[in-house]
Amino acid sequence: MKLLEGKTVLVTGGSTGIGRAAAIGAARHGADVAINYASSDNKARSCVAEIEALGQRAIAVKGDVADPATSGEFIARGVEAFGRVDVLVSNAGICPFHAFLDMPVETVDRTFRVNLHGAYYMVQAAARQMVEQGEGGVIVAVSSISALVGGEFQTHYTPTKAGVHSLMQSAAIALGKHGIRCNSVLPGTILTEINKDDLADDAKRAYMESRTPLGRLGQPEDLVGPIVFLASDMAEYVTGAALLVDGGMFVNLQ
Ligand SMILES: NC(=O)C1=CN([C@@H]2O[C@H](COP(=O)(O)OP(=O)(O)OC[C@H]3O[C@@H](n4cnc5c(N)ncnc54)[C@H](OP(=O)(O)O)[C@@H]3O)[C@@H](O)[C@H]2O)C=CC1
Ligand SMILES: C[C@H](O)[C@@H]1OC(=O)[C@H](O)[C@@H]1O
């Protein structure tokens, strides 16, 4: 069953990892897709090609989500290409691992601007378009298990993921009257570019696997079902919710 037939889905950070899987997954469910990305031109092009091979339309729009102007441009390009925006998946993010006591100011600033400010501007721009269209819409933000737990080398990152989770809760209230649903997914440890170096440490990787009741770390494709579900009418009474997609890692304390 195709859950997003005829919908237009916009995905930030769609060139690699979770965003790419979400973009291709949405296309498999019948959506036309616009992806935003920062720098990976070839990967963005190949994502578009993969979606087109599925028989759906796709565009890639380059832009830094930390720049407030990028959000308006991305939404406008999506509307220009497909006529409307039904779903935004706010996913773009970075996690430059670093110790707390000597954390550079620039690293804190950049991480907040990309992960939290970027999500804020994108969600706001998409919501403005959805309100103008007058037919509701859906926003799914990629937060993290890190919204709920800390990380020694992620003191600049975990607050941004808690912020994204909180943004979805407040946006759900602000936008409910417009028929716009806002939810977040909270991935656990998913094998992507963002943590390739961190998990190159075999001991750390084995430890993270051992903390996961389902016995393996996640793949980007593990997020597709939850994101498509939340974006679809199957979740029409779900808003302000957060869905852990972590193989059970969060509850595995003892
Ligand atoms: N992997 C994991 O374990 C987890 C990841 N997450 C979250 O998932 C999201 C996606 O991460 P993941 O797929 O793992 O990582 P990847 O590094 O594979 O993908 C990140 C994506 O975001 C894009 N991006 C990065 N910075 C910007 C920017 N300034 N403007 C626009 N796009 C940008 C990248 O584009 P480009 O390739 O062009 O740089 C890429 O498309 C992030 O928000 C992350 O916090 C949450 C929980 C766990
Ligand atoms: C990048 C990390 O491996 C990953 O990001 C998250 O949000 C998870 O909590 C993991 O720490």
Catalytic hit among 40, 157, 184, 232: 157
| Number of domains present in the structure of the chain | 1
**Residue to probe by mutation, ligand 1, list 46, 165, 192, 208, most atoms within 8 Å of CB:** 192
CATH at 199: 3.40.50.720
pLDDT digit string, tens, across residues 78-91: 999 999 999 999 99
Catalytic status, residue 157:
yes
> What is the share, in percent, of the chain residues with pLDDT greater than 90?
99
For ligand 2, atom 2, which residue shows the shortest CA distance?
195
Q: Does 2 fall in a domain?
A: no
State which residues form the domain around 226.
8-253
**Residue to probe by mutation, ligand 2, list 194, 199, 244, most atoms within 8 Å of CB:** 194
Mean pLDDT (whole number) for 16-33? 98
**What's the confidence (pLDDT) of residue 135?**
98
pLDDT digit string, tens, across residues 182-232: 999 999 999 999 999 999 999 999 999 999 999 999 999 999 999 999 999
- Band (pLDDT 50/70/90 cuts) for residue 29 is very high
- Band (pLDDT 50/70/90 cuts) for residue 107 is very high
- Interface predicted TM-score (ipTM): 0.98
Q: Which letter, b or e, does each residue of 169-208 get, where b requires 16 or more Cβ atoms within 10 Å of its Cβ? A: eebbeebeeeebbbbbbbbbbbbbebbeebbeeeeebeeb
Catalytic hit among 144, 146, 184, 232: 144
CB of 198 closer than 6 angstroms to any ligand 2 atom: yes
Q: Does 231 fall in a domain?
A: yes
Q: Does 90 fall in a domain?
A: yes
Q: Does 1 fall in a domain?
A: no
Q: Does 29 fall in a domain?
A: yes
- Band (pLDDT 50/70/90 cuts) for residue 74 is very high
Give residue 52 CA to ligand 2 midpoint distance, Å: 31
pTM for this structure?
0.98
Cα distances (Å, whole numbers) of residue 99 to 32, 155, 156, 187: 41, 8, 10, 22
Catalytic status, residue 7:
no
Q: Does 83 fall in a domain?
A: yes
Catalytic hit among 90, 121, 161, 232: 161
CB of 13 closer than 6 angstroms to any ligand 1 atom: yes
Cα distances (Å, whole numbers) of residue 113 to 8, 66, 159, 248: 26, 5, 12, 30
Contact between residue 249 and residue 211 where contact means Cβ atoms under 8 Å apart: yes
pLDDT digit string, tens, across residues 113-169: 999 999 999 999 999 999 999 999 999 999 999 999 999 999 999 999 999 999 999
Give residue 137 CA to ligand 1 midpoint distance, Å: 23
CB of 64 closer than 6 angstroms to any ligand 1 atom: yes
**What's the confidence (pLDDT) of residue 115?**
99
Instruction: Tell me the DSSP string of 55-123.
Output: T--EEEEE--TTSHHHHHHHHHHHHHHHS---EEEE---------STT--HHHHHHHHIIIIIHHHHHH
> Which residue reads 């737990």 in tokens?
149
Q: Does 80 fall in a domain?
A: yes
The 3-class SS string of 228-246 reads: HHHHCHHHCCCCCCEEEEC
CB of 91 closer than 6 angstroms to any ligand 1 atom: yes
Q: Does 227 fall in a domain?
A: yes
